[in-house]
Amino acid sequence: MITIIPAIDLIDAKCVRLSQGDYNQKTVYNENPLEVAKMFEDAGITRLHLVDLDGAKAKHIVNHKVLELIASKTKLIIDFGGGLKSDEDLRIAFESGAQMVTGGSIAVKDRETFLHWIETYGPEKIILGADAKDKMIAVSGWQEVSELSILEFIESYTSKGIRQVISTDIARDGMLTGPSIDLYREIMAQFPELGLIASGGIACIKDVKALCAVAGEGITGAITGRAIYEGKLDFRQAQAEADKC
Protein backbone atom coordinates (compact mmCIF):
# COMPACT_ATOMS: atom_id res chain seq x y z
CA MET A 1 0.00 0.00 0.00
CA ILE A 2 1.15 3.52 -0.79
CA THR A 3 0.42 6.33 1.65
CA ILE A 4 -0.62 9.61 0.04
CA ILE A 5 1.31 12.38 1.79
CA PRO A 6 0.35 15.99 1.08
CA ALA A 7 3.09 18.60 1.35
CA ILE A 8 2.99 22.01 2.94
CA ASP A 9 5.96 24.15 1.92
CA LEU A 10 6.52 27.24 4.07
CA ILE A 11 7.82 30.69 3.20
CA ASP A 12 7.04 33.56 5.58
CA ALA A 13 4.80 31.10 7.49
CA LYS A 14 2.57 30.80 4.41
CA CYS A 15 1.68 27.75 2.37
CA VAL A 16 3.48 28.01 -0.98
CA ARG A 17 4.73 25.91 -3.87
CA LEU A 18 7.81 26.42 -5.99
CA SER A 19 8.37 25.18 -9.52
CA GLN A 20 11.52 23.04 -9.82
CA GLY A 21 12.75 24.44 -6.52
CA ASP A 22 13.03 27.96 -7.91
CA TYR A 23 12.34 30.57 -5.20
CA ASN A 24 11.54 33.05 -7.97
CA GLN A 25 8.69 30.83 -9.18
CA LYS A 26 6.62 30.94 -6.00
CA THR A 27 2.86 30.61 -5.70
CA VAL A 28 1.15 31.36 -2.37
CA TYR A 29 -1.81 29.00 -1.98
CA ASN A 30 -2.90 29.83 1.54
CA GLU A 31 -1.70 32.23 4.23
CA ASN A 32 -2.89 29.87 6.98
CA PRO A 33 -0.99 26.53 6.96
CA LEU A 34 -3.01 25.25 9.92
CA GLU A 35 -6.19 25.68 7.91
CA VAL A 36 -4.65 23.62 5.11
CA ALA A 37 -3.45 20.92 7.52
CA LYS A 38 -6.92 20.64 9.07
CA MET A 39 -8.42 20.32 5.61
CA PHE A 40 -6.07 17.40 4.93
CA GLU A 41 -6.96 15.78 8.25
CA ASP A 42 -10.70 16.20 7.63
CA ALA A 43 -10.25 14.41 4.30
CA GLY A 44 -8.80 11.36 6.07
CA ILE A 45 -5.13 12.13 5.49
CA THR A 46 -2.92 10.86 8.34
CA ARG A 47 0.54 12.07 7.37
CA LEU A 48 2.02 15.44 6.40
CA HIS A 49 5.31 16.44 4.77
CA LEU A 50 6.15 19.90 6.14
CA VAL A 51 9.04 21.77 4.52
CA ASP A 52 10.66 24.92 5.89
CA LEU A 53 11.85 26.63 2.70
CA ASP A 54 12.95 29.68 4.68
CA GLY A 55 15.03 27.34 6.80
CA ALA A 56 16.55 25.64 3.77
CA LYS A 57 17.72 29.03 2.52
CA ALA A 58 18.84 30.33 5.92
CA LYS A 59 20.58 27.04 6.84
CA HIS A 60 18.78 26.80 10.19
CA ILE A 61 15.24 26.06 11.30
CA VAL A 62 12.91 29.05 10.88
CA ASN A 63 9.24 28.02 10.77
CA HIS A 64 9.17 25.85 13.90
CA LYS A 65 6.23 27.84 15.31
CA VAL A 66 4.11 26.71 12.36
CA LEU A 67 5.21 23.12 12.99
CA GLU A 68 4.28 23.47 16.66
CA LEU A 69 0.86 24.91 15.80
CA ILE A 70 -0.02 22.16 13.32
CA ALA A 71 1.29 19.42 15.62
CA SER A 72 -0.73 20.74 18.58
CA LYS A 73 -3.96 21.32 16.66
CA THR A 74 -4.07 18.15 14.51
CA LYS A 75 -3.26 14.45 14.89
CA LEU A 76 -1.27 14.35 11.66
CA ILE A 77 2.00 12.42 11.64
CA ILE A 78 4.46 15.10 10.57
CA ASP A 79 7.80 14.65 8.92
CA PHE A 80 9.67 17.94 8.87
CA GLY A 81 12.56 19.12 6.75
CA GLY A 82 14.36 22.24 5.62
CA GLY A 83 17.19 24.02 7.40
CA LEU A 84 18.06 21.23 9.82
CA LYS A 85 21.80 21.68 10.17
CA SER A 86 22.61 21.17 13.85
CA ASP A 87 21.69 19.14 16.92
CA GLU A 88 19.88 22.24 18.19
CA ASP A 89 17.77 22.45 15.00
CA LEU A 90 16.83 18.81 15.43
CA ARG A 91 15.94 19.28 19.08
CA ILE A 92 13.67 22.20 18.19
CA ALA A 93 11.98 20.19 15.42
CA PHE A 94 11.20 17.24 17.67
CA GLU A 95 10.15 19.42 20.60
CA SER A 96 7.87 21.35 18.25
CA GLY A 97 6.03 18.16 17.34
CA ALA A 98 7.74 16.50 14.40
CA GLN A 99 7.59 12.69 14.61
CA MET A 100 10.20 12.35 11.88
CA VAL A 101 12.70 14.64 10.20
CA THR A 102 14.14 14.60 6.71
CA GLY A 103 17.78 15.48 6.15
CA GLY A 104 19.19 16.15 2.70
CA SER A 105 21.82 18.90 2.61
CA ILE A 106 23.12 17.95 6.05
CA ALA A 107 23.66 14.37 4.86
CA VAL A 108 25.86 15.70 2.05
CA LYS A 109 27.71 18.48 3.82
CA ASP A 110 28.05 17.15 7.36
CA ARG A 111 28.00 13.38 7.22
CA GLU A 112 29.29 13.01 10.79
CA THR A 113 26.35 14.93 12.25
CA PHE A 114 23.79 13.09 10.15
CA LEU A 115 25.22 9.71 11.16
CA HIS A 116 25.03 10.86 14.79
CA TRP A 117 21.33 11.62 14.30
CA ILE A 118 20.68 8.14 12.88
CA GLU A 119 22.52 6.54 15.80
CA THR A 120 20.81 8.73 18.42
CA TYR A 121 17.21 8.77 17.17
CA GLY A 122 17.05 5.61 15.05
CA PRO A 123 16.15 5.11 11.37
CA GLU A 124 12.42 5.23 12.15
CA LYS A 125 12.76 8.95 12.95
CA ILE A 126 15.44 10.00 10.46
CA ILE A 127 14.56 10.05 6.75
CA LEU A 128 17.17 10.59 4.05
CA GLY A 129 16.27 13.29 1.54
CA ALA A 130 17.68 12.28 -1.84
CA ASP A 131 16.68 15.04 -4.23
CA ALA A 132 18.28 14.94 -7.63
CA LYS A 133 18.72 16.87 -10.84
CA ASP A 134 19.79 14.66 -13.74
CA LYS A 135 20.45 11.94 -11.12
CA MET A 136 22.90 14.14 -9.20
CA ILE A 137 22.11 15.12 -5.62
CA ALA A 138 21.05 18.75 -5.08
CA VAL A 139 21.31 20.59 -1.76
CA SER A 140 20.64 23.93 -0.02
CA GLY A 141 17.03 24.22 -1.09
CA TRP A 142 18.07 22.77 -4.47
CA GLN A 143 20.22 25.81 -5.14
CA GLU A 144 23.39 23.70 -5.49
CA VAL A 145 24.00 20.47 -7.43
CA SER A 146 26.65 18.23 -5.87
CA GLU A 147 28.99 15.77 -7.52
CA LEU A 148 27.26 12.81 -5.84
CA SER A 149 25.08 10.50 -7.90
CA ILE A 150 21.77 9.62 -6.27
CA LEU A 151 22.56 5.89 -6.17
CA GLU A 152 25.98 6.43 -4.57
CA PHE A 153 24.42 8.79 -2.06
CA ILE A 154 21.69 6.38 -1.02
CA GLU A 155 24.12 3.49 -0.81
CA SER A 156 26.38 5.45 1.54
CA TYR A 157 23.51 5.65 4.06
CA THR A 158 21.63 2.40 3.65
CA SER A 159 24.86 0.77 4.81
CA LYS A 160 24.60 2.94 7.95
CA GLY A 161 21.03 2.03 8.83
CA ILE A 162 18.80 4.38 6.81
CA ARG A 163 15.57 2.62 5.84
CA GLN A 164 13.40 5.49 4.52
CA VAL A 165 14.23 7.79 1.63
CA ILE A 166 12.26 10.65 0.11
CA SER A 167 13.39 11.13 -3.47
CA THR A 168 12.40 14.08 -5.64
CA ASP A 169 13.27 14.48 -9.28
CA ILE A 170 13.68 18.26 -9.24
CA ALA A 171 12.92 18.61 -12.94
CA ARG A 172 9.41 17.32 -12.23
CA ASP A 173 8.67 19.05 -8.94
CA GLY A 174 5.71 21.39 -9.19
CA MET A 175 5.46 20.80 -12.93
CA LEU A 176 2.57 18.28 -12.96
CA THR A 177 4.39 16.15 -15.55
CA GLY A 178 4.09 12.80 -13.79
CA PRO A 179 6.35 10.97 -11.33
CA SER A 180 9.86 9.84 -12.22
CA ILE A 181 8.99 6.15 -12.54
CA ASP A 182 12.23 5.13 -14.27
CA LEU A 183 14.34 6.75 -11.55
CA TYR A 184 12.32 5.02 -8.82
CA ARG A 185 12.63 1.66 -10.55
CA GLU A 186 16.39 2.15 -10.70
CA ILE A 187 16.58 3.00 -7.01
CA MET A 188 14.47 0.05 -5.94
CA ALA A 189 16.35 -2.38 -8.15
CA GLN A 190 19.52 -1.51 -6.26
CA PHE A 191 17.93 -1.14 -2.81
CA PRO A 192 15.03 -3.64 -2.57
CA GLU A 193 14.76 -3.34 1.23
CA LEU A 194 14.35 0.42 1.16
CA GLY A 195 11.11 2.23 1.92
CA LEU A 196 10.97 4.79 -0.89
CA ILE A 197 8.70 7.83 -0.81
CA ALA A 198 8.20 9.27 -4.28
CA SER A 199 7.93 13.04 -4.65
CA GLY A 200 7.45 15.40 -7.57
CA GLY A 201 5.31 15.50 -10.67
CA ILE A 202 2.15 13.79 -9.40
CA ALA A 203 -0.67 15.47 -11.28
CA CYS A 204 -3.69 13.17 -11.37
CA ILE A 205 -5.11 9.80 -10.42
CA LYS A 206 -3.34 8.24 -13.42
CA ASP A 207 -0.01 9.09 -11.80
CA VAL A 208 -1.08 7.42 -8.55
CA LYS A 209 -1.94 4.30 -10.56
CA ALA A 210 1.49 4.44 -12.23
CA LEU A 211 3.16 4.46 -8.81
CA CYS A 212 0.92 1.61 -7.68
CA ALA A 213 2.17 -0.43 -10.62
CA VAL A 214 5.67 -0.35 -9.11
CA ALA A 215 4.67 -0.26 -5.42
CA GLY A 216 5.57 -3.92 -5.03
CA GLU A 217 9.14 -2.91 -5.76
CA GLY A 218 9.30 -0.82 -2.58
CA ILE A 219 7.47 2.48 -3.02
CA THR A 220 5.67 3.11 0.27
CA GLY A 221 4.55 6.72 -0.05
CA ALA A 222 3.78 9.48 -2.52
CA ILE A 223 4.15 13.17 -1.73
CA THR A 224 1.99 15.59 -3.67
CA GLY A 225 1.42 19.33 -3.44
CA ARG A 226 0.44 21.46 -6.38
CA ALA A 227 -2.00 18.90 -7.82
CA ILE A 228 -3.95 18.97 -4.57
CA TYR A 229 -3.92 22.74 -4.19
CA GLU A 230 -5.14 23.28 -7.74
CA GLY A 231 -7.88 20.66 -7.49
CA LYS A 232 -6.34 18.27 -10.01
CA LEU A 233 -6.08 15.42 -7.48
CA ASP A 234 -8.70 14.50 -4.90
CA PHE A 235 -7.31 13.28 -1.55
CA ARG A 236 -9.90 10.60 -0.97
CA GLN A 237 -9.83 9.23 -4.49
CA ALA A 238 -6.02 9.19 -4.49
CA GLN A 239 -5.79 7.30 -1.18
CA ALA A 240 -8.56 4.88 -2.23
CA GLU A 241 -6.55 4.07 -5.35
CA ALA A 242 -3.33 3.81 -3.34
CA ASP A 243 -5.01 1.41 -0.90
CA LYS A 244 -5.42 -1.05 -3.77
CA CYS A 245 -1.67 -1.29 -4.34
* Positions marked active-site: 9, 131
DSSP string, 29-94: EES-HHHHHHHHHHTT--EEEEEEHHHHHHTS---HHHHHHHHHH---EEEEESS--SHHHHHHHH
Q: What's the rounded Cα separation, in Å, for the pair 229 and 192?
A: 33
Q: Where are the beta strands (DSSP E) in 104-235?
A: 126-133, 136-139, 144-149, 164-169, 195-199, 219-224
Contact predicate 193/163, CB 8 Å: yes
One-letter identity of residue 199:
S
